[in-house]
Amino acid sequence: MKDNLERNYWQDILQINKGIHPIELLGRIFPQLTLEVMLNGSSDETYLNIVRRGSIPKITKPRNFHYALGDKLWLQKTYVGEVLVLYLEQRDDFERFLQIISYRTEPQAIPPSMGASLIRGIINWRKIEKYKEAYIKKGHVDWAEEFKRFTCQKSNYQDKLIVLSKGAYSGVKYHQTPYDEKTWLDISFKIRLYHECTHLIFFELSKEKNALWEELLADCMGMIYAIQKYDAHLAAVFLGVEDVAYRKGGRLENYLHQEKQDIVDMKGVKNSIDLLDHTCNQMLEQGLLPEAILLSLIKQGSGSYLNDKAL
């Protein structure tokens, strides 16, 4: 029974709640979205009661969101299964959502170059409640014991969610690309979506813990899906390594420890991008599908593309 609940939960939720705004709908599932962003909010008793005990606050509709007409919520197919995706048109809605869900209502600054995020491990008490209801309906009575067994498997009650924002990918303006403004916004949306899907696949299939390698792969796959090729120059611009010196504000600084940001080997990072450019476009010319390219790169591993100095 739990397998069917896991597989069909979000399909049912989306089907039953057609016409409900995505933020309002998610607020019913994750009521911490109704809370204010504030310093030390993660230790606030109301927040802890919601995420640790499944309590429902008096206010049930999230506040301080724009509820933009263009906001969307859907299930996206990936190589490792479906994932829920939320698209938010307003930048401050995107930042607020991350602050509440990813940073537990803390006012964490979101870098301008960050336009999407894959969030894992969101506790869904509504899933637990639904399973409990079905369990009791079957005549079982030992819920305390069953709760322990059910929650031993995190996938039974934890969700993953991709959150996308609107705007130029990586904060890169259209005049830094070969595209006009509208085309670049459309491309940016696709890069973001498939970039985050790549993170999900990487997490499920790779044993490596290398943030820079994962980002290089995610940008690579995002571009392949969006523009049907890997563009080495754009890849460098995304990270801020297109010139001799690092460009402050590039995404590279998001993935390096503070003490390493001043000693990163720019040439090494660029060489890694050039290697990916050669390999990926060669595989595309051979007719390989994007998923096959990603699986091949994961199998090859970062050692084929990054040296220690580039990390």
DSSP per-residue string spanning 118-182: EEEEEE-HHHHHHHHHHHHHTT---HHHHHHHHTTSGGGTEEEEEEEE-SSGGG--GGGSSS-HH
Contact (CB, 8 A) for 224 and 198:
no
**Which pLDDT score, from 0 to 100, does residue 7 have?**
54
The answer to whether residue 251 is domain-embedded is yes
What's the domain count of the chain?
A: 2
Q: Is the domain of 61 the same as that of 152?
A: yes
Q: Residue 70 in contact with residue 89, Cβ under 8 Å?
A: yes
Residue 1: predicted pLDDT: 43
In degrees, rounded to 5, the angle at the alpha carbon of residue 198 between the alpha carbons of residues 227 and 94 is 85
Classify residue 279: in a domain, yes or no: yes
So what's the pLDDT on residue 248? Answer: 84
Q: 236 and 108 in one domain?
A: no
**pTM tops 0.85, yes or no:** yes
Same domain assignment for residues 304 and 245: yes
Residue at a domain's end among 102, 136, 166 = 166
Query: Is 197 within a domain?
Result: no
Q: Has residue 31 been placed in a domain?
A: yes
**Where do runs of H (alpha helix) occur along 161-265?**
181-205, 211-227, 232-239
Residues 116 and 243 in one domain: no
pLDDT at site 103: 98
214 within a domain of the structure (yes/no): yes
Same domain, 96 and 212: no
- Please report whether residue 179 resides in a domain: no
* Same structural domain, 33 and 95: yes
**112 domain residue, yes or no:** yes
pLDDT tens digit at each of 311 positions of the chain = 443 454 589 999 999 999 999 999 999 999 999 999 999 999 999 999 999 999 999 888 999 999 999 999 999 999 999 999 999 999 999 999 999 999 999 999 999 889 999 999 999 999 999 999 999 999 998 999 999 999 999 999 999 999 999 999 999 999 999 999 999 999 999 999 999 999 999 999 999 988 889 999 999 999 999 999 999 999 999 999 998 888 888 888 887 755 455 556 778 889 999 999 999 999 999 999 999 999 999 999 998 888 655 44
Residue 50 burial (CB count, 10 A): 22
Same domain, residue pair 106 and 49: yes
Residues 216 and 148 in one domain: no
pLDDT, residue 305, reads 86
Q: For position 252, what pLDDT does the model report?
A: 87
Residues 11 and 86 in one domain: yes
Residues 129 and 219 in one domain: no
Query: Are residue 126 and residue 243 in the same domain, yes or no?
Result: no
**Cα-Cα-Cα-Cα dihedral of 271, 272, 274, 276, to 10°?**
160
Q: Is residue 292 part of a domain?
A: yes
Are 160 and 27 found together in one domain? yes
Residues 6+ apart with CB under 8 A from 170: 113, 115, 237, 238, 250, 251
C-alpha count within 13 angstroms, C-beta hemisphere, residue 270 = 12
pLDDT at 250: 86
Q: What is the pLDDT of residue 262?
A: 53
The whole domain housing 222 covers 208-311
